[in-house]
Structure 1
Amino acid sequence: MTDPAFMTEKVLGDVLAEFEWLAPYTLNDEDLPDGIDVAFPRCSLFFSEDWTGCVHVAFSAEHTGLDEAVDMRGVREVLGGGKTPGLIKDIAGPGSSKKVQNQIRDLAKILLNEFASSLVGEYAWIPAYTSVLAREKQSREGGQGA
């Protein structure tokens, strides 16, 4: 995380409060040195900030049933990207409080537009996601000579 970190529990909570969520959630940054957990009843998201001040969100393995947490942007890339209107796309320059807040807003919009069902525990994207990953792995392995 950057030093100082611009994403705090208060900043994340204030920005998330700007949106209407499908289920209640709690924030937890205790004993989590690298980010903040946003826990819905049937979905857990992990928000983190990297050294450039970019914010990331991952679905926890606990609720998805996957072997490890999976980054939302990675899911979008594997599945061909989504089309969420009205994104701020504040990615340039060094980390700042404004940049972090704008990125949290964009992530919230994407979650609500493209992954709303996941927030209530329905992960319909997982079979397609794992299928694409398996095909890519098979293609890589099949492309290697014996």
Structure 2
Amino acid sequence: MKFRTALALSFALWAVPAVASADAKLEGTWNLDVPATVKLMTAKQPLPPDQLKAMTDEMGKMSQQFSLKFVGKQLEANTGEDVTKCDWSWGKDDEVVTKNCLNSKGKPNDLDPEREAIQLKGGALYLINKAEGNAIVFRRK
């Protein structure tokens, strides 16, 4: 075996575990983190106590149904009313790039990388609404 071939093969074998471990950073079910989401959404514009309680209560209801589940290169987003399945890949800065997203009826859904981003930061997963500049925070179960 030529040195170049051996070197290329060793790099290829070395790179596979790195990709697998990167995917392991996402593997599993991620649930809505209500306190972190409320804190993030109210950081720029605080709410009066009654509105803050209403937001927290609504998020609490959402958290019982809303989850993101990563298995291999598949993402399953469950909103309680519908389940959307997507293929995904890593983008820059630990961003999850989704594609081929279909809802439970087999129709394309609105998990659009142009409007929304999914980013892994500090052990939390952020579903970012690019237009509004806010995010929903998820933590792994």
TM above 0.5:
no
Tell which structure's C-alpha radius of gyration is larger. 2
Name the structure where strand makes up a greater proportion of residues.
Answer: 2
Name the structure where helix makes up a greater proportion of residues.
Answer: 1
TM-score, with length taken from structure 1: 0.36
